Structure 1
C-alpha cells in the first residue's frame, strides 16, 4: 500500500517565520489563453521538504550531491504523540537501534497545520540529534522544525539557534520536515521522498510517500 505523507502546496501554506510565502497564481487560463499555467512562488523549504547540509553548514553538501537512491529510506516510526507544546524529545524517548536509516518522529503536530499552534511543536534536543547521528539515522518529523521555532511562547531553557540541525546536517544526515498523514502506519515502512531537482539546493519540497 502507498500513502501520501505530504502537505499540499497552496497559497498561504504555513512556512517558517520570515521565509518566503507560498503563492500559486494563474499565469494563463483556458478562457483567456486556451491553456492553463500556474505561477509558483515559494522558498526552498516550503511545505513537506528536505534540508541539505548546506542549509546550516557553510561547507555543507547540496541536495544534488546526494545520489537519488539516498531519498528512498527504510523508516522507523517513533511515537512522540505524548509530547505537549514545546516539549523536548530526549534520548530516553528513543527506541533501541535498528538497521533502518530514517527515524520518523510522529508528534501529531500535523493536525495543527495552518494554525498558530503549529509553531509551538515538540523538538529534538542536541543530545537526541547526536544519538541519531551516532546510529547513522537521517531524521524526519511531522512538524515545522526539528529545533524549537521562535514564538512568543518560547520558554526559558530552550536551546538557542538550531543545534539539532547543526548536529544532523553537519554530519551529512538529511532532515525531512512537515510530514503528515502518519496515522496508522506500521512501525517500519519504506519512505520515498524525492526532492525537486534544483541546482545547488539547500533544500527542496518533496513528495513523501510511505510504502507498507
Structure 2
C-alpha cells in the first residue's frame, strides 16, 4: 500500500484565486511569552487544496457538513490532459477508458507546475460537454489547477453542472505524477468539518 499526499501546505502569502482573501499564518501565543504555542489563521474557505460544496455556486446547494465521511472517500482515476495547453478545453475525447467503480475523475493538466507564477490563471478547463458528462454519471471532479472552469470567467458551467448535480469539486492538487495511470485508486478528501460552501482539505491517494 502506498499513500501519497496531494495537498499544498497552507502558509502566509500563498497564492489564492483572484479576489479571494489573502492567507496569513501568524503567531498568537509563544513559549517565551505564554508557555505554549497558538497560531492565528486567516484564510478563505477556498484556500490552497480545497473542496467546493454545491453551496459554493448553487443557491439551494448542500454545504460541506452534509457529506458523510464515507462520501469523502472515493474511487478515483487520473485523466492525463497535459497536452491541452494554456486556455485550452478538455473534452470527452481526452478521457481514457474509465473503470466501472470510479466516482471521481482527477484531471492532470500539468498546471500544478505553474503554482504561484504569472501563468497560474491560464490553465486549461473542462468543456461544458465534459462537465455535463461528469454530472450525468455522478463523478466528482478534481484538478491540479485553480479551477475546472476558466479562472476569471463570467460563466462557470463546470461548477454549475457538477455541483448542481450534488457532486464535489476538488481544486489545487499537487503531486499527481506519483499517481497510477490507467487504473483506479482510493482518494481521501478530508476538509475541515464546517457548515460552509467549501474548506481547505487534506487530500490523500491510496493505491
The correspondence of residues 12-161 of structure 1 with structure 2, limited to 5 A, is 12-98=13-99, 99-150=101-152, 160-161=154-155
TM alignment of 1:4-15, pairs within 5 A:
4-15=5-16
Cα deviations by residue, 1:174-211 (Å, 9 ceiling, x for unpaired): 1000000010311321110111011x210011100111
* Divergent runs of 4+, >3 A: none
Map Cα deviations across residues 29-79 of structure 1 (whole Å, 9 max, x no partner): 112212111100000000100000010000011111111111101011000
- Check conservation: 2:51, 2:169, Cα contact below 8 A: yes
Structure 1's unaligned 5+ residue stretches are 151-158
Distance 1:143 1:162 in 2: 15
TM-score by length of 1: 0.92
CA RMSD of the aligned region, Å?
A: 1.1
> d(CA) in 2 for partners of 1:97 and 1:75?
10
8 A contact 1:97–1:135 mirrored in 2:
no
Matched, 1:168 2:170: no
Report the TM-score, using the length of structure 2 for normalisation.
Answer: 0.95
| Residue of 170, 194, 205 corresponding to 2:200 | 205
Q: Unaligned regions of 5+ residues in structure 2, if any?
A: none
Say whether 1:190 aligns with 2:186: yes
The Cα shift of 1:92 comes to 1.2
Q: Distance in 2 between matches of 1:30 and 1:114?
A: 33
CA contact (8 A) 2:138 2:165 kept: no
